[in-house]
Structure 1
Protein backbone atom coordinates (compact mmCIF):
# COMPACT_ATOMS: atom_id res chain seq x y z
CA UNK A 1 0.00 0.00 0.00
CA UNK A 2 1.24 3.50 -0.80
CA UNK A 3 2.14 5.92 1.93
CA UNK A 4 -0.78 7.56 3.67
CA UNK A 5 -1.60 11.13 2.68
CA UNK A 6 -0.38 13.62 5.25
CA UNK A 7 -3.27 16.07 5.21
CA UNK A 8 -7.07 16.21 5.10
CA UNK A 9 -7.03 17.57 1.57
CA UNK A 10 -4.69 14.81 0.42
CA UNK A 11 -7.21 12.23 1.60
CA UNK A 12 -9.86 14.02 -0.46
CA UNK A 13 -7.58 13.95 -3.50
CA UNK A 14 -7.03 10.22 -3.03
CA UNK A 15 -10.78 9.60 -2.80
CA UNK A 16 -11.49 11.68 -5.90
CA UNK A 17 -8.83 9.74 -7.79
CA UNK A 18 -10.57 6.51 -6.78
CA UNK A 19 -13.91 7.87 -8.04
CA UNK A 20 -12.33 8.95 -11.29
CA UNK A 21 -9.99 6.05 -12.04
CA UNK A 22 -11.63 3.01 -10.46
CA UNK A 23 -15.32 3.82 -10.39
CA UNK A 24 -14.96 5.86 -13.59
CA UNK A 25 -17.49 8.49 -12.62
CA UNK A 26 -17.97 11.37 -15.02
CA UNK A 27 -15.82 14.51 -14.65
CA UNK A 28 -18.97 16.46 -13.78
CA UNK A 29 -19.83 14.07 -10.92
CA UNK A 30 -16.25 14.03 -9.61
CA UNK A 31 -16.21 17.84 -9.66
CA UNK A 32 -19.43 17.91 -7.61
CA UNK A 33 -17.89 15.54 -5.03
CA UNK A 34 -14.79 17.77 -4.94
CA UNK A 35 -16.86 20.87 -4.14
CA UNK A 36 -18.83 19.13 -1.40
CA UNK A 37 -15.71 17.65 0.26
CA UNK A 38 -13.77 20.90 -0.01
CA UNK A 39 -16.62 22.59 1.85
CA UNK A 40 -16.53 19.86 4.50
CA UNK A 41 -12.79 20.44 4.98
CA UNK A 42 -13.34 24.18 5.36
CA UNK A 43 -16.26 23.80 7.76
CA UNK A 44 -14.29 21.38 9.95
CA UNK A 45 -11.03 23.34 9.94
CA UNK A 46 -8.90 22.49 12.96
CA UNK A 47 -10.18 18.92 13.24
CA UNK A 48 -8.69 15.87 11.59
CA UNK A 49 -11.01 13.36 9.94
CA UNK A 50 -10.96 10.86 12.86
CA UNK A 51 -12.00 13.68 15.23
CA UNK A 52 -15.27 14.33 13.42
CA UNK A 53 -18.11 12.49 15.12
CA UNK A 54 -21.87 12.32 14.60
CA UNK A 55 -22.50 15.46 16.64
CA UNK A 56 -19.87 17.44 14.74
CA UNK A 57 -21.54 16.57 11.43
CA UNK A 58 -24.91 17.59 12.84
CA UNK A 59 -23.45 20.96 13.85
CA UNK A 60 -22.01 21.43 10.37
CA UNK A 61 -25.38 20.55 8.85
CA UNK A 62 -27.05 23.14 11.09
CA UNK A 63 -24.49 25.69 9.93
CA UNK A 64 -25.35 25.00 6.30
CA UNK A 65 -29.04 25.34 7.11
CA UNK A 66 -28.41 28.70 8.84
CA UNK A 67 -26.95 29.94 5.56
CA UNK A 68 -30.39 29.39 3.96
CA UNK A 69 -29.05 26.54 1.85
CA UNK A 70 -31.75 24.53 0.14
CA UNK A 71 -32.49 21.25 2.00
CA UNK A 72 -32.00 19.29 -1.22
CA UNK A 73 -28.49 20.75 -1.56
CA UNK A 74 -27.73 19.84 2.05
CA UNK A 75 -28.96 16.29 1.43
CA UNK A 76 -26.65 16.01 -1.57
CA UNK A 77 -23.67 17.22 0.46
CA UNK A 78 -24.42 14.74 3.23
CA UNK A 79 -24.54 11.97 0.65
CA UNK A 80 -21.11 13.03 -0.66
CA UNK A 81 -19.68 13.19 2.86
CA UNK A 82 -21.17 9.82 3.78
CA UNK A 83 -19.57 8.15 0.78
CA UNK A 84 -16.21 9.74 1.56
CA UNK A 85 -16.18 8.52 5.16
CA UNK A 86 -17.30 5.06 4.08
CA UNK A 87 -14.25 4.91 1.82
CA UNK A 88 -11.99 6.52 4.42
CA UNK A 89 -12.90 3.87 7.01
CA UNK A 90 -11.13 1.36 4.80
CA UNK A 91 -7.97 3.48 4.78
CA UNK A 92 -7.64 4.63 8.39
CA UNK A 93 -9.22 3.77 11.72
CA UNK A 94 -12.54 5.50 12.36
CA UNK A 95 -14.85 4.75 15.26
CA UNK A 96 -17.82 4.95 12.85
CA UNK A 97 -19.11 6.81 9.83
CA UNK A 98 -19.99 10.16 11.44
CA UNK A 99 -22.49 11.05 8.70
CA UNK A 100 -24.54 7.88 9.16
CA UNK A 101 -28.00 8.79 10.47
CA UNK A 102 -27.61 12.56 9.90
CA UNK A 103 -30.45 13.90 7.78
CA UNK A 104 -30.96 17.17 5.98
CA UNK A 105 -33.70 19.51 7.24
CA UNK A 106 -37.07 18.73 5.77
CA UNK A 107 -37.92 20.41 2.50
CA UNK A 108 -40.55 23.04 3.02
CA UNK A 109 -43.72 21.79 1.39
CA UNK A 110 -44.82 24.19 -1.32
CA UNK A 111 -48.56 24.57 -1.50
CA UNK A 112 -50.03 24.00 -4.96
CA UNK A 113 -51.11 27.24 -6.58
CA UNK A 114 -54.89 27.52 -6.89
CA UNK A 115 -57.02 30.18 -8.51
CA UNK A 116 -59.70 31.98 -6.55
CA UNK A 117 -63.24 30.80 -7.24
CA UNK A 118 -64.00 33.96 -9.23
CA UNK A 119 -60.82 33.69 -11.31
CA UNK A 120 -61.40 30.00 -12.04
CA UNK A 121 -65.01 30.52 -13.12
CA UNK A 122 -64.00 33.53 -15.23
CA UNK A 123 -61.27 31.51 -16.92
CA UNK A 124 -63.45 28.59 -18.03
CA UNK A 125 -66.75 30.42 -18.62
CA UNK A 126 -67.82 31.34 -22.18
CA UNK A 127 -66.73 34.83 -23.12
CA UNK A 128 -66.69 37.26 -26.01
CA UNK A 129 -64.12 36.07 -28.58
CA UNK A 130 -60.84 37.90 -28.14
CA UNK A 131 -58.10 38.69 -30.62
CA UNK A 132 -56.38 35.48 -31.67
CA UNK A 133 -59.23 33.31 -30.40
CA UNK A 134 -59.56 29.82 -31.85
CA UNK A 135 -62.15 29.20 -34.60
CA UNK A 136 -65.62 28.29 -33.39
CA UNK A 137 -65.21 24.50 -33.37
CA UNK A 138 -61.74 24.64 -31.81
CA UNK A 139 -63.03 27.20 -29.31
CA UNK A 140 -65.83 24.84 -28.28
CA UNK A 141 -63.31 22.03 -27.92
CA UNK A 142 -61.09 24.22 -25.73
CA UNK A 143 -63.94 25.36 -23.53
CA UNK A 144 -65.14 21.79 -23.01
CA UNK A 145 -61.63 20.70 -22.02
CA UNK A 146 -61.09 23.62 -19.64
CA UNK A 147 -64.53 23.23 -18.04
CA UNK A 148 -63.92 19.51 -17.52
CA UNK A 149 -60.48 20.09 -15.97
CA UNK A 150 -62.02 22.43 -13.41
CA UNK A 151 -65.32 20.57 -13.00
CA UNK A 152 -63.83 17.16 -12.26
CA UNK A 153 -60.20 17.78 -11.25
CA UNK A 154 -58.76 15.55 -13.96
CA UNK A 155 -55.07 15.19 -14.66
CA UNK A 156 -54.20 16.50 -18.11
CA UNK A 157 -53.17 12.99 -19.21
CA UNK A 158 -56.56 11.67 -18.10
CA UNK A 159 -58.33 14.38 -20.07
CA UNK A 160 -56.30 13.68 -23.20
CA UNK A 161 -57.05 9.96 -22.91
CA UNK A 162 -60.85 10.31 -22.91
CA UNK A 163 -62.89 8.64 -25.66
CA UNK A 164 -66.30 9.78 -26.83
CA UNK A 165 -67.92 6.55 -25.67
CA UNK A 166 -66.98 3.45 -23.72
CA UNK A 167 -65.41 0.76 -25.83
CA UNK A 168 -62.77 -1.93 -25.97
CA UNK A 169 -59.45 -0.56 -24.79
CA UNK A 170 -60.90 2.81 -23.74
CA UNK A 171 -58.96 4.45 -20.90
CA UNK A 172 -61.82 6.82 -20.11
CA UNK A 173 -65.04 8.27 -21.43
CA UNK A 174 -67.85 10.66 -20.53
CA UNK A 175 -71.15 9.13 -19.44
CA UNK A 176 -73.38 12.04 -20.45
CA UNK A 177 -76.58 10.42 -19.21
CA UNK A 178 -75.13 10.04 -15.71
CA UNK A 179 -73.22 13.34 -15.57
CA UNK A 180 -70.05 11.36 -14.91
CA UNK A 181 -66.62 10.88 -16.38
CA UNK A 182 -64.78 7.58 -16.14
CA UNK A 183 -60.98 7.90 -16.15
CA UNK A 184 -57.96 5.66 -15.70
CA UNK A 185 -55.41 7.31 -13.44
CA UNK A 186 -52.04 6.41 -11.99
CA UNK A 187 -51.44 2.72 -11.44
CA UNK A 188 -54.15 1.94 -14.03
CA UNK A 189 -56.78 2.61 -11.37
CA UNK A 190 -60.17 3.50 -12.78
CA UNK A 191 -62.46 5.95 -11.02
CA UNK A 192 -65.74 7.75 -11.65
CA UNK A 193 -65.96 11.50 -11.08
CA UNK A 194 -69.08 13.72 -11.23
CA UNK A 195 -69.29 16.36 -13.98
CA UNK A 196 -70.91 19.72 -13.23
CA UNK A 197 -73.71 21.16 -15.38
CA UNK A 198 -71.54 23.90 -16.90
CA UNK A 199 -69.06 21.28 -18.09
CA UNK A 200 -71.90 19.07 -19.35
CA UNK A 201 -73.24 21.96 -21.42
CA UNK A 202 -69.77 22.69 -22.81
CA UNK A 203 -69.27 19.02 -23.68
CA UNK A 204 -72.64 18.84 -25.45
CA UNK A 205 -71.79 21.94 -27.50
CA UNK A 206 -68.44 20.45 -28.55
CA UNK A 207 -69.80 16.98 -29.33
CA UNK A 208 -72.46 18.55 -31.58
CA UNK A 209 -69.74 19.96 -33.91
CA UNK A 210 -66.96 17.41 -33.29
CA UNK A 211 -65.70 16.05 -36.60
CA UNK A 212 -64.87 12.41 -37.12
CA UNK A 213 -61.27 11.75 -36.00
CA UNK A 214 -58.83 11.64 -38.91
CA UNK A 215 -57.36 8.36 -37.70
CA UNK A 216 -60.73 6.65 -37.37
CA UNK A 217 -60.39 6.50 -33.60
CA UNK A 218 -62.80 7.48 -30.84
CA UNK A 219 -60.89 10.31 -29.13
CA UNK A 220 -63.15 12.86 -27.48
CA UNK A 221 -60.84 15.85 -27.87
CA UNK A 222 -59.00 16.46 -31.12
CA UNK A 223 -55.97 18.36 -32.31
CA UNK A 224 -56.00 20.66 -35.33
CA UNK A 225 -55.00 17.60 -37.42
CA UNK A 226 -58.03 15.65 -36.25
CA UNK A 227 -56.06 13.24 -34.08
CA UNK A 228 -56.22 12.76 -30.31
CA UNK A 229 -55.07 15.92 -28.57
CA UNK A 230 -51.86 15.57 -26.54
CA UNK A 231 -51.31 16.78 -22.96
CA UNK A 232 -48.74 19.26 -24.29
CA UNK A 233 -51.24 20.80 -26.71
CA UNK A 234 -53.84 21.11 -23.94
CA UNK A 235 -51.25 22.88 -21.81
CA UNK A 236 -50.38 25.28 -24.63
CA UNK A 237 -54.01 26.05 -25.41
CA UNK A 238 -54.85 26.73 -21.77
CA UNK A 239 -51.80 28.93 -21.32
CA UNK A 240 -52.66 30.97 -24.43
CA UNK A 241 -56.28 31.27 -23.32
CA UNK A 242 -55.22 32.40 -19.86
CA UNK A 243 -53.00 35.15 -21.28
CA UNK A 244 -55.62 36.31 -23.78
CA UNK A 245 -58.42 36.35 -21.20
CA UNK A 246 -56.37 38.33 -18.65
CA UNK A 247 -55.83 35.62 -16.05
CA UNK A 248 -53.91 37.08 -13.07
CA UNK A 249 -51.28 34.31 -13.09
CA UNK A 250 -49.66 31.83 -15.46
CA UNK A 251 -52.28 29.11 -15.89
CA UNK A 252 -51.60 25.42 -16.47
CA UNK A 253 -53.86 22.33 -16.35
CA UNK A 254 -52.69 21.17 -12.93
CA UNK A 255 -53.66 24.57 -11.50
CA UNK A 256 -57.27 23.84 -12.46
CA UNK A 257 -56.97 20.46 -10.71
CA UNK A 258 -55.65 22.21 -7.58
CA UNK A 259 -58.42 24.80 -7.83
CA UNK A 260 -61.07 22.08 -8.12
CA UNK A 261 -59.75 20.29 -5.02
CA UNK A 262 -59.38 23.37 -2.84
CA UNK A 263 -62.78 24.82 -3.82
CA UNK A 264 -64.63 21.55 -3.21
CA UNK A 265 -62.88 21.17 0.14
CA UNK A 266 -63.68 24.75 1.15
CA UNK A 267 -67.35 24.14 0.41
CA UNK A 268 -67.75 20.62 1.75
CA UNK A 269 -64.96 19.97 4.23
CA UNK A 270 -65.03 16.34 3.05
CA UNK A 271 -61.38 15.38 2.61
CA UNK A 272 -62.17 11.73 1.86
CA UNK A 273 -64.49 12.66 -1.00
CA UNK A 274 -61.85 14.95 -2.50
CA UNK A 275 -59.34 12.09 -2.23
CA UNK A 276 -61.66 9.78 -4.17
CA UNK A 277 -62.36 12.34 -6.89
CA UNK A 278 -58.67 13.16 -7.35
CA UNK A 279 -57.73 9.48 -7.45
CA UNK A 280 -55.14 9.73 -4.67
CA UNK A 281 -54.16 6.32 -3.32
CA UNK A 282 -53.32 7.84 0.07
CA UNK A 283 -55.18 10.55 1.91
CA UNK A 284 -51.84 12.08 2.90
CA UNK A 285 -51.52 13.28 -0.71
CA UNK A 286 -54.85 15.06 -0.37
CA UNK A 287 -54.16 16.64 3.01
CA UNK A 288 -52.14 19.43 1.40
CA UNK A 289 -55.48 20.94 0.40
CA UNK A 290 -56.41 21.36 4.05
CA UNK A 291 -53.51 23.81 4.20
CA UNK A 292 -54.94 25.61 1.18
CA UNK A 293 -58.29 25.72 2.94
CA UNK A 294 -56.72 27.22 6.08
CA UNK A 295 -54.83 29.68 3.89
CA UNK A 296 -58.19 30.85 2.53
CA UNK A 297 -59.61 31.19 6.05
CA UNK A 298 -56.53 33.13 7.17
CA UNK A 299 -56.91 35.54 4.26
CA UNK A 300 -60.57 36.12 5.12
CA UNK A 301 -59.63 36.68 8.75
CA UNK A 302 -56.87 39.14 7.88
CA UNK A 303 -59.22 41.14 5.68
CA UNK A 304 -62.27 41.04 7.92
CA UNK A 305 -61.25 40.93 11.59
CA UNK A 306 -60.58 44.39 13.09
CA UNK A 307 -57.83 43.07 15.34
CA UNK A 308 -56.03 41.22 12.54
CA UNK A 309 -54.56 44.42 11.14
CA UNK A 310 -52.75 45.19 14.38
CA UNK A 311 -49.23 43.80 14.07
Structure 2
Protein backbone atom coordinates (compact mmCIF):
# COMPACT_ATOMS: atom_id res chain seq x y z
CA UNK A 1 0.00 0.00 0.00
CA UNK A 2 2.79 2.45 0.90
CA UNK A 3 4.75 1.58 -2.20
CA UNK A 4 1.88 1.88 -4.63
CA UNK A 5 -0.43 4.57 -3.20
CA UNK A 6 2.22 6.93 -1.76
CA UNK A 7 5.55 6.27 -3.45
CA UNK A 8 4.20 5.15 -6.78
CA UNK A 9 4.81 1.79 -8.45
CA UNK A 10 6.01 1.32 -12.00
CA UNK A 11 3.51 -0.81 -13.88
CA UNK A 12 4.59 -0.33 -17.47
CA UNK A 13 6.29 2.04 -19.89
CA UNK A 14 5.23 3.98 -22.96
CA UNK A 15 7.12 3.84 -26.21
CA UNK A 16 7.32 6.99 -28.29
CA UNK A 17 9.70 6.37 -31.14
CA UNK A 18 13.16 5.89 -29.67
CA UNK A 19 12.08 7.31 -26.30
CA UNK A 20 10.88 5.26 -23.34
CA UNK A 21 8.90 6.73 -20.44
CA UNK A 22 7.90 4.81 -17.27
CA UNK A 23 4.23 4.62 -16.20
CA UNK A 24 3.75 4.93 -12.42
CA UNK A 25 0.48 4.67 -10.53
CA UNK A 26 -0.33 6.18 -7.12
CA UNK A 27 -3.08 8.06 -5.28
CA UNK A 28 -3.95 11.67 -6.18
CA UNK A 29 -1.82 14.41 -4.62
CA UNK A 30 -4.62 15.67 -2.34
CA UNK A 31 -4.91 12.23 -0.70
CA UNK A 32 -1.26 12.18 0.40
CA UNK A 33 -0.42 15.80 1.34
CA UNK A 34 -0.50 15.36 5.16
CA UNK A 35 -0.01 12.77 7.85
CA UNK A 36 -3.77 12.71 8.58
CA UNK A 37 -4.54 12.05 4.92
CA UNK A 38 -2.02 9.22 4.84
CA UNK A 39 -3.49 7.67 7.98
CA UNK A 40 -6.96 7.72 6.41
CA UNK A 41 -5.92 5.99 3.18
CA UNK A 42 -8.36 3.06 2.77
CA UNK A 43 -7.13 -0.51 2.74
CA UNK A 44 -9.02 -3.77 2.13
CA UNK A 45 -8.12 -6.78 4.26
CA UNK A 46 -8.16 -10.36 2.88
CA UNK A 47 -11.52 -10.82 4.62
CA UNK A 48 -12.97 -7.85 2.76
CA UNK A 49 -13.03 -5.33 5.65
CA UNK A 50 -12.00 -1.73 4.96
CA UNK A 51 -9.53 -0.10 7.38
CA UNK A 52 -7.29 2.91 7.32
CA UNK A 53 -3.54 2.81 6.80
CA UNK A 54 -3.10 4.35 10.25
CA UNK A 55 -4.75 1.29 11.83
CA UNK A 56 -1.87 -1.00 10.84
CA UNK A 57 1.08 1.38 10.50
CA UNK A 58 2.65 4.19 12.53
CA UNK A 59 3.09 7.22 10.29
CA UNK A 60 5.45 9.99 11.46
CA UNK A 61 7.72 12.66 9.99
CA UNK A 62 11.41 12.37 10.84
CA UNK A 63 14.37 14.48 9.78
CA UNK A 64 16.91 12.83 7.50
CA UNK A 65 20.04 13.98 5.74
CA UNK A 66 19.59 17.29 3.98
CA UNK A 67 21.49 15.88 1.03
CA UNK A 68 22.76 12.45 0.08
CA UNK A 69 26.45 12.65 -0.74
CA UNK A 70 28.98 10.09 -1.77
CA UNK A 71 32.75 10.02 -1.84
CA UNK A 72 34.96 7.17 -3.01
CA UNK A 73 31.76 5.28 -3.91
CA UNK A 74 30.59 5.43 -0.27
CA UNK A 75 27.69 7.37 1.25
CA UNK A 76 28.82 10.01 3.71
CA UNK A 77 27.43 12.69 6.00
CA UNK A 78 29.08 15.97 6.98
CA UNK A 79 29.19 17.59 10.41
CA UNK A 80 30.31 21.22 10.45
CA UNK A 81 32.12 22.56 13.52
CA UNK A 82 32.92 26.21 14.20
CA UNK A 83 35.96 26.79 16.42
CA UNK A 84 36.18 29.76 18.78
CA UNK A 85 38.67 30.51 21.53
CA UNK A 86 41.33 27.98 20.58
CA UNK A 87 43.57 26.90 17.71
CA UNK A 88 42.32 24.62 14.96
CA UNK A 89 45.19 22.16 15.15
CA UNK A 90 44.80 21.60 18.89
CA UNK A 91 41.04 21.15 18.62
CA UNK A 92 41.27 18.61 15.80
CA UNK A 93 43.95 16.66 17.65
CA UNK A 94 41.83 16.49 20.81
CA UNK A 95 38.65 15.70 18.85
CA UNK A 96 40.35 12.82 17.07
CA UNK A 97 41.51 11.38 20.37
CA UNK A 98 38.09 11.71 22.04
CA UNK A 99 36.24 10.17 19.08
CA UNK A 100 38.69 7.28 18.92
CA UNK A 101 38.26 6.62 22.66
CA UNK A 102 34.50 7.09 23.07
CA UNK A 103 32.88 6.29 19.71
CA UNK A 104 32.51 2.70 18.50
CA UNK A 105 31.96 2.75 14.75
CA UNK A 106 29.90 -0.05 13.20
CA UNK A 107 31.58 -2.24 10.58
CA UNK A 108 31.94 -0.40 7.29
CA UNK A 109 31.90 3.07 8.87
CA UNK A 110 34.85 5.45 9.06
CA UNK A 111 35.55 9.03 10.17
CA UNK A 112 37.61 11.55 8.21
CA UNK A 113 38.57 15.07 9.31
CA UNK A 114 38.75 17.90 6.84
CA UNK A 115 38.76 21.69 6.91
CA UNK A 116 41.01 24.70 7.26
CA UNK A 117 43.35 22.89 9.67
CA UNK A 118 44.64 20.92 6.69
CA UNK A 119 46.27 24.11 5.38
CA UNK A 120 48.06 24.42 8.73
CA UNK A 121 49.20 20.78 8.59
CA UNK A 122 50.60 21.22 5.08
CA UNK A 123 52.32 24.44 6.10
CA UNK A 124 53.83 22.75 9.16
CA UNK A 125 55.24 19.98 6.98
CA UNK A 126 56.81 22.51 4.64
CA UNK A 127 58.15 24.60 7.51
CA UNK A 128 59.53 21.45 9.10
CA UNK A 129 61.80 21.09 6.09
CA UNK A 130 62.40 24.75 5.29
CA UNK A 131 63.23 26.07 8.77
CA UNK A 132 66.18 23.69 9.48
CA UNK A 133 67.62 24.34 6.03
CA UNK A 134 67.23 28.09 6.52
CA UNK A 135 68.92 27.99 9.93
CA UNK A 136 71.78 25.96 8.48
CA UNK A 137 72.24 28.50 5.69
CA UNK A 138 72.22 31.35 8.23
CA UNK A 139 74.91 29.63 10.28
CA UNK A 140 77.02 29.03 7.16
CA UNK A 141 76.67 32.65 6.03
CA UNK A 142 77.51 33.92 9.52
CA UNK A 143 80.60 31.75 9.62
CA UNK A 144 81.64 33.03 6.19
CA UNK A 145 81.16 36.62 7.38
CA UNK A 146 82.97 36.36 10.73
CA UNK A 147 85.27 33.39 10.21
CA UNK A 148 84.99 32.50 13.90
CA UNK A 149 82.69 29.92 15.41
CA UNK A 150 82.55 31.93 18.66
CA UNK A 151 80.89 34.94 17.00
CA UNK A 152 78.39 32.69 15.23
CA UNK A 153 77.57 30.90 18.49
CA UNK A 154 77.02 34.21 20.29
CA UNK A 155 74.50 35.43 17.71
CA UNK A 156 72.64 32.14 17.29
CA UNK A 157 72.71 31.31 20.99
CA UNK A 158 71.23 34.64 22.07
CA UNK A 159 68.53 34.67 19.36
CA UNK A 160 65.83 33.07 21.62
CA UNK A 161 66.01 36.17 23.83
CA UNK A 162 64.84 38.29 20.90
CA UNK A 163 62.03 35.83 20.08
CA UNK A 164 60.77 35.69 23.67
CA UNK A 165 59.14 39.11 23.38
CA UNK A 166 56.99 37.88 20.51
CA UNK A 167 55.77 34.91 22.58
CA UNK A 168 54.93 37.16 25.51
CA UNK A 169 52.85 39.51 23.34
CA UNK A 170 51.04 36.56 21.72
CA UNK A 171 50.17 35.31 25.21
CA UNK A 172 48.92 38.74 26.27
CA UNK A 173 46.76 39.09 23.14
CA UNK A 174 45.54 35.47 23.42
CA UNK A 175 46.64 34.65 19.86
CA UNK A 176 46.96 31.00 18.91
CA UNK A 177 49.83 29.62 16.88
CA UNK A 178 49.09 29.81 13.16
CA UNK A 179 50.85 30.12 9.84
CA UNK A 180 50.60 33.93 10.04
CA UNK A 181 52.26 33.90 13.47
CA UNK A 182 55.08 31.69 12.18
CA UNK A 183 55.64 34.11 9.30
CA UNK A 184 55.88 36.96 11.83
CA UNK A 185 58.49 35.06 13.86
CA UNK A 186 60.54 34.38 10.74
CA UNK A 187 60.58 38.10 9.96
CA UNK A 188 61.45 38.89 13.58
CA UNK A 189 64.33 36.42 13.57
CA UNK A 190 65.73 38.04 10.43
CA UNK A 191 65.68 41.54 11.92
CA UNK A 192 67.09 40.34 15.25
CA UNK A 193 69.96 38.50 13.59
CA UNK A 194 70.69 41.51 11.40
CA UNK A 195 70.97 43.92 14.34
CA UNK A 196 72.99 41.39 16.34
CA UNK A 197 75.43 41.02 13.44
CA UNK A 198 75.95 44.77 13.23
CA UNK A 199 76.54 45.00 16.98
CA UNK A 200 79.03 42.14 16.82
CA UNK A 201 80.85 43.84 13.94
CA UNK A 202 81.06 47.14 15.85
CA UNK A 203 82.40 45.36 18.92
CA UNK A 204 85.01 43.46 16.92
CA UNK A 205 86.14 46.65 15.16
CA UNK A 206 86.45 48.48 18.48
CA UNK A 207 88.43 45.59 20.01
CA UNK A 208 90.73 45.41 16.96
CA UNK A 209 91.35 49.12 17.40
CA UNK A 210 92.35 48.55 21.04
CA UNK A 211 94.61 45.68 20.02
CA UNK A 212 96.43 47.86 17.51
CA UNK A 213 96.89 50.56 20.15
CA UNK A 214 98.24 48.01 22.62
CA UNK A 215 100.62 46.62 19.99
CA UNK A 216 101.84 50.15 19.18
CA UNK A 217 102.45 50.78 22.89
CA UNK A 218 104.24 47.46 23.25
CA UNK A 219 101.91 46.00 25.87
CA UNK A 220 99.40 43.14 25.93
CA UNK A 221 95.66 43.71 25.60
CA UNK A 222 93.94 43.81 28.98
CA UNK A 223 90.35 43.37 30.09
CA UNK A 224 90.20 47.14 30.50
CA UNK A 225 90.75 47.41 26.74
CA UNK A 226 87.90 44.97 26.20
CA UNK A 227 85.57 46.99 28.41
CA UNK A 228 86.54 50.18 26.61
CA UNK A 229 85.92 48.49 23.25
CA UNK A 230 82.50 47.26 24.39
CA UNK A 231 81.54 50.73 25.59
CA UNK A 232 82.66 52.37 22.36
CA UNK A 233 81.06 49.78 20.07
CA UNK A 234 77.74 49.72 21.96
CA UNK A 235 77.49 53.52 21.99
CA UNK A 236 78.11 53.69 18.24
CA UNK A 237 75.27 51.19 17.73
CA UNK A 238 72.81 52.88 20.13
CA UNK A 239 71.35 55.51 17.80
CA UNK A 240 70.95 53.21 14.74
CA UNK A 241 69.25 50.60 16.92
CA UNK A 242 66.79 53.09 18.41
CA UNK A 243 65.99 54.39 14.92
CA UNK A 244 65.40 50.84 13.66
CA UNK A 245 63.05 49.98 16.52
CA UNK A 246 61.16 53.29 16.21
CA UNK A 247 60.68 52.73 12.48
CA UNK A 248 59.35 49.20 12.97
CA UNK A 249 56.98 50.30 15.72
CA UNK A 250 55.71 53.21 13.62
CA UNK A 251 55.01 50.87 10.72
CA UNK A 252 53.42 48.00 12.64
CA UNK A 253 51.37 49.69 15.36
CA UNK A 254 48.72 50.91 12.87
CA UNK A 255 48.31 47.29 11.80
CA UNK A 256 47.89 46.17 15.41
CA UNK A 257 45.02 48.59 16.02
CA UNK A 258 43.41 48.20 12.58
CA UNK A 259 40.04 46.52 12.11
CA UNK A 260 39.51 46.42 8.36
CA UNK A 261 39.45 43.52 5.93
CA UNK A 262 42.42 41.21 6.50
CA UNK A 263 43.30 42.84 9.83
CA UNK A 264 42.99 39.53 11.71
CA UNK A 265 45.73 37.94 9.63
CA UNK A 266 47.95 41.02 9.54
CA UNK A 267 47.74 41.47 13.31
CA UNK A 268 49.05 37.95 13.82
CA UNK A 269 51.96 38.66 11.50
CA UNK A 270 52.75 41.98 13.17
CA UNK A 271 52.35 40.84 16.81
CA UNK A 272 55.58 38.78 16.97
CA UNK A 273 57.48 41.67 15.38
CA UNK A 274 56.13 44.28 17.82
CA UNK A 275 56.74 42.19 20.92
CA UNK A 276 60.01 40.77 19.70
CA UNK A 277 61.60 44.11 18.83
CA UNK A 278 61.38 45.13 22.49
CA UNK A 279 63.46 42.16 23.60
CA UNK A 280 65.62 42.37 20.47
CA UNK A 281 66.62 45.86 21.62
CA UNK A 282 67.68 44.46 24.99
CA UNK A 283 69.52 41.68 23.14
CA UNK A 284 71.48 44.06 20.94
CA UNK A 285 72.31 46.73 23.51
CA UNK A 286 72.88 44.60 26.63
CA UNK A 287 73.08 40.84 26.05
CA UNK A 288 75.45 40.83 23.05
CA UNK A 289 77.97 43.19 24.74
CA UNK A 290 77.78 41.22 27.99
CA UNK A 291 78.37 37.92 26.19
CA UNK A 292 81.19 39.57 24.24
CA UNK A 293 82.93 40.50 27.50
CA UNK A 294 82.34 37.02 28.90
CA UNK A 295 83.76 35.31 25.81
CA UNK A 296 86.87 37.47 25.85
CA UNK A 297 87.29 36.87 29.58
CA UNK A 298 87.21 33.13 28.98
CA UNK A 299 89.67 33.61 26.13
CA UNK A 300 91.94 35.51 28.50
CA UNK A 301 91.94 32.59 30.92
CA UNK A 302 92.82 30.14 28.16
CA UNK A 303 95.34 32.43 26.45
CA UNK A 304 96.94 34.70 29.06
CA UNK A 305 99.26 36.27 26.51
CA UNK A 306 96.35 37.64 24.51
CA UNK A 307 94.57 39.46 27.34
CA UNK A 308 96.85 39.96 30.33
CA UNK A 309 95.84 42.18 33.27
CA UNK A 310 97.65 45.39 34.04
CA UNK A 311 98.22 45.63 37.83
CA UNK A 312 96.51 48.61 39.38
CA UNK A 313 95.07 49.85 36.08
CA UNK A 314 91.62 51.48 36.04
CA UNK A 315 89.42 52.26 33.07
CA UNK A 316 86.05 54.02 33.37
CA UNK A 317 85.72 52.84 36.96
CA UNK A 318 86.32 49.16 36.13
CA UNK A 319 89.10 47.50 38.17
CA UNK A 320 91.61 45.52 36.24
CA UNK A 321 90.96 41.76 36.09
**Do Structure 1 and Structure 2 share a fold, with TM-score over 0.5?**
no
Flag the structure with higher helix content: 2
Larger radius of gyration: 2
TM range (shorter): under 0.3
